[in-house]
Amino acid sequence: MSEAPGVVSGTRRLLRRLRDTMAGSGTAQQRLERIVRLVAAEMLAEVCSVYVMRAGEVLELFATEGLRLEAVHRTRLRVGEGLIGLIAATARPLALADAQSHPGFVYRPETGEEIYHSLMGVPILRSARVLGVLAVQNRTPRHYDDDEVEILQTIAMIIAELIAGGDLISPREIAESRMTGTLPVRLVGIRFNPGLAIGPAVLHMPRPRIEQVVAEDVTAEIERLRRAVAAMRDAIDELVAAGGGLGAGEHRDILEAYRMFAADRGWVARIVDAIRSGLTAEAAVQKVRDETSRRMMQASDPYLRERLVDLEDLANRLQRHLSDRLLDKFELPREFILVARILGPAELMDFSHRRIAGLVLEEGSPTAHVAIIARALDIPVVGRVENVTQRVEPGDTVIVDGDHARVLIRPSEDIRQAVTANIEARGHRRASFERMRSAPAVSRDGIEVKLMLNAGLLMDMAQLAATGAEGVGLFRTELALMVRETFPSVDEQTDFYRRVFEQAGSRPVIFRTFDIGGDKVLPYLARSAEDNPAMGWRAIRIGLDRPAMLREQLRALIRAAPGRQLYVKFPMVAELAEFDRARALLDLELARARQEGRQPPASVKVGVMLEVPALLWQLSGLCERVDFLSVGTNDLLQFLFACDRGNPRLADRYDPLSAPMLRLLREVVAGTGAAAVPLSMCGEMAGNPLEAMVLIALGFRTLSMAGAAIGPVRAMVRSLDVAAAAAFVDEISARPDHSLKSRFEAYARDHLVEI
Ligand code: PEP
Ligand code: MG
Nearest to 207 by CA among 88, 320, 61, 322: 320
Q: Determine if ligand 1 sits within 6 Å of the CB of residue 634.
A: yes
656 CB near ligand 1 (under 6 Å): no
pLDDT of res. 251: 57
Q: List domains and CATH numbers for the chain.
A: 5-177 (3.30.450.40), 185-417 (1.10.274.10), 440-750 (3.20.20.60)
What value does the mean pLDDT of the chain take?
A: 87
Q: Hey, CA dihedral for 113, 114, 120, 126, is it positive or negative?
A: positive
Distance CA 358, CA 388 (A): 14
- Which atom of ligand 1 is found nearest the CA of 683? 3
What is residue 332's DSSP assignment? S
Which pLDDT belongs to residue 261?
67
User: What is the Cα gyration radius of the chain?
Assistant: 30
**For residue 215, which of 206, 229, 207, 225 has the smallest C-alpha distance?**
225
Identity of the residue numbered 513: T
Amino acid at 421: A
Residue 238: phi and psi, rounded to 5, are -60, -40
The answer to whether the CB of 337 falls within 8 A of the CB of 398 is yes
Which whole number is the average pLDDT over 355-380? 82
Read off the amino acid at residue 681.
Answer: M
- Our answer on whether the CB atom of 639 is closer than 6 Å to any ligand 1 atom is no
Q: How far apart are CA 154 and CA 150, in angstroms?
A: 6
The residue nearest atom 4 of ligand 1, judged by CA position, is 632
- The phi, psi pair for 123, rounded to 5°, reads -70, 145
Distance CA 74, CA 224 (A): 44
> Which stretch of 6-10, 22-26, 196-200, 693-697 has the lowest confidence by average pLDDT?
6-10
pLDDT tens for each residue of 463-490: 999 999 999 999 999 888 876 767 899 9
Point out the residues that are catalytic: 369, 682
Res. 7 pLDDT band, cuts 50 70 90: low
| Long-range contacts of residues 359-363, Cβ cutoff 8 Å, at least 24 apart | 359/192, 359/400, 360/189, 360/385, 360/388, 360/392, 360/398, 360/400, 360/407, 361/189, 361/192, 361/385, 361/388, 362/386, 362/387, 362/388, 362/389, 363/309
Q: How far apart are CA 214 and CA 8, in angstroms?
A: 13
Question: Does ligand 1 lie within 6 Å of residue 635's CB atom?
Answer: yes
Q: What is the pLDDT of residue 648?
A: 63
At residue 553 the predicted structure's pLDDT band, cuts being 50, 70 and 90, is very high
Dist. CA 707 → ligand 1 center (Å): 15
How confident is the model at residue 299, as a pLDDT?
65
Ligand 1 contact via 476 beta carbon (within 6 Å):
yes
Lowest mean pLDDT among 79-88, 126-135, 239-248, 542-551: 239-248
Looking at per-residue pLDDT, the higher value among 447 and 288 belongs to: 447
Pick the range with the lowest mean pLDDT from 424-428, 472-476, 550-554, 711-715. Answer: 424-428
Q: What is the DSSP letter of 574?
A: -
* Cβ partners under 8 Å of residue 485, min gap 6: 256, 257, 260, 523
Q: What angle (nearest 5°) sits at the alpha carbon of residue 388, between those of residues 134 and 170?
A: 45
Residue 497, pLDDT score = 97
Distance 474 CA to ligand 1 centre (A): 9
Buried-exposed string 447-464: b where 16+ CB fall within 10 A, e elsewhere: bebbbbbbbbbbbbbebb
Name residue 630's beta-bridge partners: 609, 680
Q: Rounded to whole angstroms, how far apart are CA atoms 645 and 180?
A: 33
Cα separation of 180 and 515, whole Å? Answer: 44
pLDDT tier at 69 (50, 70, 90 boundaries)? very high
How far is ligand 1, taken at its centre, from the CA of residue 301, in Å?
A: 22
Helix (H) or strand (E) holding 62: strand 58-65
Residue 246: pLDDT band by 50, 70, 90 thresholds?
Answer: very low
Task: State the first-to-last Cα distance of the chain, in angstroms, to the nearest integer.
Answer: 60
pLDDT digits (tens, 9 = 90+) for 373-382: 787 778 999 9
Residue 171: what pLDDT? Answer: 74
User: Residue 212 — very low, low, confident or very high, per pLDDT cuts 50/70/90?
Assistant: confident
| pLDDT at residue 731, rounded to an integer | 96
56: helix, strand or coil: coil
> Residues 27-32: what's their mean pLDDT?
93
Label residue 501 by pLDDT band (50, 70, 90): very high
Q: Give the full edge-to-edge strand order of the sheet including 381-383.
A: 185-188, 406-409, 397-401, 196-203, 336-340, 356-361, 381-383, 190-193
- Which of the two residues, 323 and 350, has the higher pLDDT score? 323
Question: Which pLDDT score, from 0 to 100, does residue 208 have?
Answer: 61
Tens of pLDDT along 178-199? 333 355 788 999 888 889 999 9
Residue whose Cα lies nearest atom 9 of ligand 1: it is: 476
